[in-house]
Structure 1
Amino acid sequence: MADHKHGEMDITVQEKTFDSFIWFVSRGAVAIVVLLILLALANG
């Protein structure tokens, strides 16, 4: 097995994927909260 050297792997693709995931989850959470508020106001 090859020796592992910390910090030599190119992780730009993983970082981009993680950033996209965080963006999607945060926008989704905001959309759900807004939807719940609108439903609560509509049902008065």
Structure 2
Amino acid sequence: MAEHKHGEMDIEVQEKTYEGFINFTKWSVVAIIAILIFMALVNA
């Protein structure tokens, strides 16, 4: 079995996936907050 050496693995794909997840989450939260504000203003 190959010996594991910390820090040698190429993680570029994982970093891009994580960045995409963070951006998706951020914009989802913004959209949800905007929808809730709109609903509060319409029903008030």
**TM-score range, shorter-chain basis?**
over 0.9
Distance in structure 1 (CA, Å) of the matches to 2:2 and 2:39: 57
Q: Which amino acid aligns with 1:24?
A: F
CA distance in 2, matches of 1:25, 1:14: 16
* Alignment-derived partner of residue 31 in structure 2: 31
In 1, distance between residues paired with 2:27 and 2:34? 11
What is the root-mean-square deviation in Å for CA atoms of aligned residues? Answer: 0.5
- Name structure 1 gaps, 5 residues minimum: none
* Pairing of 1:1-44 with structure 2 (within 5 A): 1-44=1-44
**Percent of residue pairs bearing the same amino acid type:** 59
Give distance in 2, aligned partners of 1:24 and 1:18.
Answer: 10
* Aligned mates of 1:43, 1:3 — CA distance in 2: 63
Between the aligned partners of 2:33 and 2:3, the Cα distance in structure 1 is 48
Calculate the TM-score normalised by the size of structure 2: 0.95
